[in-house]
Structures are given as structure tokens and as C-alpha cells.
Amino acid sequence: MKLTKYTHACVRLEKDGRVLVFDPGTFSETDQALAGADAVLITHEHGDHVDVDAVAAALQANTALELFAPEAVAGTLRGKAADASSRIHSVAPGEDFEAAGFSIRTFGGQHALIHPQIPVVANVGYLVDANVYHPGDSFAIPDGVNVRTLLVPIHAPWNKVGEVVDFVIGVRAPVAFPIHDALLNDTGRGLVEGHVTRIGAKYGSEYRHLSSGDSVEV
């Protein structure tokens, strides 16, 4: 399948003429990512992962578009796009379903802790076609599967470099690409990616940098 990275946590997958989009958030090029989409997967409710107005508008404009998200997100979008309610599906960890011709398995459960005074919200990680894993805002390692392509949150208010590296080591996917990087400048990106590239390679993971708009076959 073709994988295209957009700014921050948004990723688009294309296979056999069908399009699946992860986390079109407010930091991302949502119009480009959602153009012609058949299904959208949302990991959690934070705005950098779901631009509610843009996604609601897409659901209303495209009567074939389906969305899968934790209940908090699904409920909000049903309120914004009532006509699309039947196409907005609540999901939780431990589920298997089909979306736009892709096979989906869910993992995780909750967002990584930012601070004890900031509430923890539901977060669902998605494994697509037993290949591409998007963890959302978590380092939840999928159990019972071998991930082939890992999307790595390389920077966030809730993580540090050592945790990013340990996530890559723990999953041990043959290939890893960056997500969740909009708050990094070039200096910070180089530092994080250098550690992930060097240490990940010791455990069989090849880390490859992608800029916004770049596409690869996976």
C-alpha cells in the first residue's frame, strides 16, 4: 500500500483505489488528507489528532465516508454531523473490523500521562492489514502480532527520547517512520532521529525520516 505522511500525526494509506486516513488534526493538511477518503481512524479526542469541524464537514460532504473512533470522539462528531451518525462507529481496544477494504485490529486503551493534573483520555492504537501500526498518543505495544511498519511518536509533551527509543526496540518492526513531530525544530528532530536510527538498528528496526507530503510503499 502507499503511505503518505502529513504534518504531525496524520497519515494516509491507499490500496486498490481505497483510502484510509489516520488522525486528521488541526496541525495537519486535513483537506488534502481527507480528499477522496473512504474511512477515517481517530486515535483520541485531542485537537492535534482530530479537527472536529473539518472531519464533520467531510462526513457531510461524502455520504460514503465512514469514521471509527473512541466513544468520546464518535459522540462529538455525531452531534456535529447528525446525518452521518450511522457511519460514525465507536471502537475500543481488542476489536477487529474492516474499514474501506482494510483489515483493522485495535490496541491500547488510554492516552499516555502528561501530568497528574491533566485528565487521561481514551486512546486507541490501530494496526492495519497486519502491517502499519499507529499508536496515537501512547507507547502501547501490540501483543500477539508482528508489526511490519511502525509509526513512531517522536516528540510530545508526554514523552522523552529514551521512551521513544524503547518503544521502537519493544515493537521491533523492520521499518519505522516518524509521526507526532510538529513541535520539533530541525535541531531537535535531528537529535531524536539520530538516537532512534542508531539504537533501533541494533534491534533490527530501520528508521526512515519522512517530511510532510512524502510517500512510500509499505
The rounded distance, in Å, linking the Cα atoms of 36 and 19 is 7
The contacts of residue 214 (CB under 8 Å, 6+ apart) are 4, 5
Beta strands in the chain (DSSP E): 2-5, 11-15, 18-22, 39-41, 66-69, 88-90, 96-99, 102-110, 122-128, 132-134, 149-153, 175-179, 206-207, 215-217
Given this model, what pLDDT does residue 149 score?
98
Cell of 68: 471509527
Q: What single-letter DSSP state applies at residue 110?
A: E
Given this model, what pLDDT does residue 165 score?
98
Q: What single-letter DSSP state applies at residue 204?
A: T
Given this model, what pLDDT does residue 141 score?
97
123: nearest Cα among 111, 106, 113: 111
Given this model, what pLDDT does residue 126 score?
98
Given this model, what pLDDT does residue 69 score?
98
Q: What single-letter DSSP state applies at residue 70?
A: -
The rounded distance, in Å, linking the Cα atoms of 146 and 55 is 31
Compute and round to an integer the Cα radius of gyration of the chain.
16
The contacts of residue 54 (CB under 8 Å, 6+ apart) are 24, 30, 31, 34
**Measured on CA atoms in the order 114, 53, 38, 207, is the torsion positive or negative?**
negative
Q: Is 157 exposed, middle or buried (0-12, 13-18, 19+ CB in 10 A)?
A: exposed
The whole model's pTM is what?
0.97
Q: Mean pLDDT, consecutive 10-residue segments, the chain of 218 residues?
A: 98 98 98 97 98 97 97 97 97 98 97 96 98 98 97 97 98 98 96 98 98 98
The contacts of residue 117 (CB under 8 Å, 6+ apart) are none
140: nearest Cα among 123, 116, 162: 123
